[in-house]
Amino acid sequence: MSASLIGLIGIIILLIMLLIRIPVAFAMFFVGFIGTWILNGFNSAMGLLSSEAFTLGSSPELVVIPLFILMGNVASTTGMSRQLYDAAYAIIGSVRGGLASATVIGCGGFAALSGSSVASALTMGKVALGEMDRYKYDSRLSTGVVAAGGTLGILIPPSTGFVIYAILTEQSIGRLFLAGVLPGILLLFLFVIAITVMCWVKPELGPAGPKTTRSQKFRALVGAGPIVGIILLTIGGIYGGLFSPVEAAAVGAGAVILIGLVTRTIKPMQLWYAAKDSVVTTATVMLILIAAHMINPFLALSDIPLAVGQMFEALNLSTLGVLILMLLIYLVLGCFLEGFAMLVLTIPIFFPIVLQYGIDPIWFGVLVVLTLEMGLISPPVGINVFIVKSVAKNVDLGTIFRGVLPFWLMMIVALAILIAFPQITLILPNTMFD
């Protein structure tokens, strides 16, 4: 049996294991270890198992993961996410669909703290769904906004998706964080446009909320000051060269905890639970990364990346055609696979092709992460849809999926804009590092 055939069988077994909901890390550990054993011997597989876990676990760059996760958990506990939402609502909530637009802005702000789409959808769902229901918003719009807005957590830095992509491809985490800023703002703006157009065509979808006075607006903005300041401090510090991504994560986490303790919005026991949740989430991410480094050598030994590269060459496509074909594969896979699983499975296969065709790896990373976002609201997996369903128990899944459709289309528009104008993605990282 040829190495390529063994590699193909391994990928099929991995996909089957993922489809029957075996945890991503365990599935990749199993396939990577057994595959390496078959192709290169038991000693090689055991050596890989011991060395990769230690090498990756001792990597200082990965410190950003627990620190940014802790920052998001503490911000949620202290109510900072609610303050950001209240500020956005005070400014634009009185216009038609304004409450939904405020929810998207709140999701974007919380995404800049948590780096997690699931956390953004869950937190903003608890904060905003009740308010939109109180003002008679159509459930399609309200749930669709929260599910789609939550996806900003994987694009707007700090993003766990960017960290994993950086580790898998040996790219700069700082460059990727900066590359996600303008695309994240672009997508947020497109979501607001979609809400405005829908509420203009069908006013009953999002009625106007009560008007707020100047003093109410001012108080809401002052309340959101700490979270805005932390966002500017962390991202601005990276852009200005004051902090490395690891240092920015430490500063951000420390600032959120300090504000919570000074304002007495977090108690020691709540801080303990936030830290405990951060450890559990970090362990999950680390297991996935270690497992990815187990399966990558197996794929290399099986010559699967080489075979896929030869297949792309045989298609005789232009560089743009190759890029679009890879993104289409991601869109299809996103309907069935969880985002991180898709990332660690495909990057070892596609990244050599990216380098071969001269595609900028930072630009490609942003495009891939954006397609991962689309998978978060695509049926049948659509994890953000199920998260929103857990909060809005009286709304059926079909309604939520219909609600996210306009925002899914806006993601397609954003993807097309970023492909047509790569400088939107690259201007900030190139300004900082070149």
Percent of the chain beyond pLDDT 90? 18
What is the C-alpha separation between 158 and 163, in angstroms, rounded? 8
Confirm if 4 and 304 have CB atoms less than 8 A apart: yes
**How confident is the prediction for the chain on average, in pLDDT?**
84
In this model, does residue 292 exceed pLDDT 80? no
- Helices 245-262 and 225-239, packing angle to 10 deg: 160
CB 392 within 8 A of CB 384: no
Residue carrying the six token digits 């300041």: 229
Residues 68, 73, 77, 83: is their CA dihedral positive or negative?
positive
Question: For residue 241, what is the enclosing H or E element?
Answer: none
Mean local confidence (pLDDT), 6-15: 84
Residues with Cβ within 8 Å of residue 264, at least 6 apart in sequence: none
* Tokens of residue 124, six digits: 């903003």
CA distance 297 to 33: 10
Q: In this predicted model, what pLDDT tens digit does every residue of 244-279 receive, in sequence order?
A: 878 888 888 888 888 888 888 888 888 898 888 888
Give dist(CA 419, CA 391) in Å, integer. 35
Among all chains, which residue has been given the structure tokens 């596609």? 350
The lowest-confidence range among 106-120, 181-195, 245-259 is 106-120
Query: Alpha carbon 73 to chain centroid distance?
Result: 16
pLDDT at 160: 80
Distance, C-alpha 214 to centroid of its chain? 35
Radius of gyration of the chain (CA): 22
Neighbours of 197 (CB within 10 A): 12
Task: Output b/e per residue, 386-411; b: 16+ Cβ within 10 A.
Answer: ebbbebbeebeeebbbebbebbbebb
- Tell me the one-letter amino acid at 392: A
Q: Where are the domains of the chain?
A: 61-433
Question: Residue 4: which residues within 8 A CB-CB, separation 6 or more?
Answer: 302, 303, 304, 307
CA 389 to each of CA 99, 315, 397, 428: distance values in angstroms, whole numbers, following the listed order: 19, 42, 7, 37
Residue 107 confidence (pLDDT):
81
Least confident span in 152-166, 353-367, 417-431: 152-166
> Rounded CA gap, 115 and 333, in Å?
22
- For 220, the token pair is 């809401």
Which residues, in sequence order, are CB contacts of 221 under 8 Å at separation 6+?
A: 87, 90, 91
Please, is 37 exposed, middle or buried when counting C-beta atoms within 10 Å of its C-beta (0-12, 13-18, 19+)? middle
Q: Which residue has the tokens 């099986």?
A: 302
Q: Where are the alpha helices (DSSP H) in 302-422?
A: 304-314, 319-333, 339-356, 361-376, 383-391, 397-420
Q: What is the pLDDT of residues 299-343, one digit of tens each?
A: 778 877 777 777 877 888 889 999 999 998 888 887 767 677 778
Tens-place pLDDT, residues 29-57: 888 889 888 888 888 888 877 777 777 77
Q: What does DSSP assign to residue 395? A: S
Cα–Cα distance for residue pair 179/428, rounded to 1 Å: 6
In this structure, what token pair is assigned to residue 339? 């985002």
| pLDDT tier, 434 (very low <50, low <70, confident <90, very high otherwise) | low
Residue carrying structure tokens 């510090």: 237
